[in-house]
Structure 1
Amino acid sequence: MSAPLLQLSDVTKSFGGIKALSGLSCEVRQGQIVGVIGPNGAGKTTLFNVITGAYRANSGDVNFDRQPITHWRPYRIARAGAVRTFQNIRLFSSMTVWEHLLVAQPGRGALWRRALPTRWADGAAIARAEEVLEFFGLKDVRNQIARSLSYGTQRKVEMARALTANPRLLLLDEPVAGMNHDEAEDIRRLMLRLRDGGLTILLIEHDMGFVMNLCDYLYVLDFGVLIAKGLPAEIQSDPIVMDAYLGKEA
């Protein structure tokens, strides 16, 4: 079996006297869609922040593609190929969809080209933006500014922006939060296509129907502690998970 693309070993993150993550160990293998679930306050977003460098773990190790990234800055982690979205949409409200797909790409060429990617993008950047625009079905809104878009479309644009950065690992924080069933199903199908194309995905999500019909493997957190891991069918029938999170919904 191949080495994990992402591996966390005994990671702890504290805020004052509160442990948001407590001795967490988990891994994500290449070509998987892995879900992280748990109640509010379980430490899910803290986990993403530790992986992507927004927070630094108090102890433990984070490795990405066999490299220790525990103390790397966020921009360096993103350049290495671990790219994320956020629970709260973070688009540039006055920029168009097309501009979002250009600014997220790694800088190439001369300094003036890197400094003004929306005006002086090179051919490769334009081609990548066109490819992602087509993939997410955003061509009809390419010239619309972000604040004029519906909530579901803004979610799509945020994912599309992350994808134009050519990630090896895409981290999605509640990608279908606030979406209706049809919008969520559209995202589920797109994510399966991304996985089948070789992209590895780690996601946080509260929609259990979405998670159980998408993920290859699940980790369950509760108060910063890993309480269960396994295949979706195993998690659904785990009495500890049912008691801590799924409850009657299971």
Structure 2
Amino acid sequence: MQSFANKVVVVTGAASGIGRALAQQLSMQGANLALSDVNMNGLEETRSTLHGKGKVTLHTLDVSNRAAFEAYAEQVLEDHGQVDMIINNAGVALSETVERMTYEDMEWIVNINFWGVVYGTKTFLPLLKARPEAAIVNVSSIFGIIALPTQSAYNATKFAVRGFTESLRQELKNTNVFVTTVHPGGIKTNIVNNGRMKTSMTGDKSLEQQAKEFEKLARTTPAQAADVILNGVKGGKRRILIGPDARLMDRIQRIVPVKYSDVFAWFLKKMG
């Protein structure tokens, strides 16, 4: 997909962060947008920052609700008449050890981070296949490539998104639908403040302390991330790594696929 002009693009989690930045850049590039989130006030703020001339619709959507997603797809088709790309961006964070984690917390993150991607993909796939060219962009994480302590649930969902999407890409190889996974490193968003951060990777710390730690590590802005994602789609990249930290972690994992945890344990010890 070389241009987003006059395309209809669905973006979940568009009330802030990467989702908002994607909406801003897509709007400037002439796209029509169907934006969703659980936070309608945030969506309204996103719309107020858009400067393109394309049509923009806003919908409150809980991506973990399959029936709501199916109804949303019907509404988007009614509003826009077509769908050319979906970016399954909505996601949440959970930091806790396996031993202390509740099943409720595990189900919460799996329903949003994994099932939300599955519902978005399956619900919109028939509409995408009806277009001359289309794209599915599923946002995983660098934590879909490497695993760290207290991130087991988050890792599980992001590894699952990666596996699901890579299989889907092979199934759609000879069709009009391009498929890619996105693996951001630390991005300056509110994911920590909006997550369930109970135990940090460097010990028991308050949410405020964890947010400050994350802010130090997050070197990439949402605008930079959106730029990399959209250029990756235009360039046909099947895996999009965002940020120098993501590229470094990916490289270390390739060099020492089993012992990379020792490298990161040493780094986390220095942080603590």
Answer yes or no: same fold by TM over 0.5. no
TM-score by length of 2: 0.33
Structure in which a larger fraction of residues adopt helix: 2
Larger RCO of the pair (alpha carbons < 8 Å, separation 6+): 1
TM-score by length of 1: 0.36
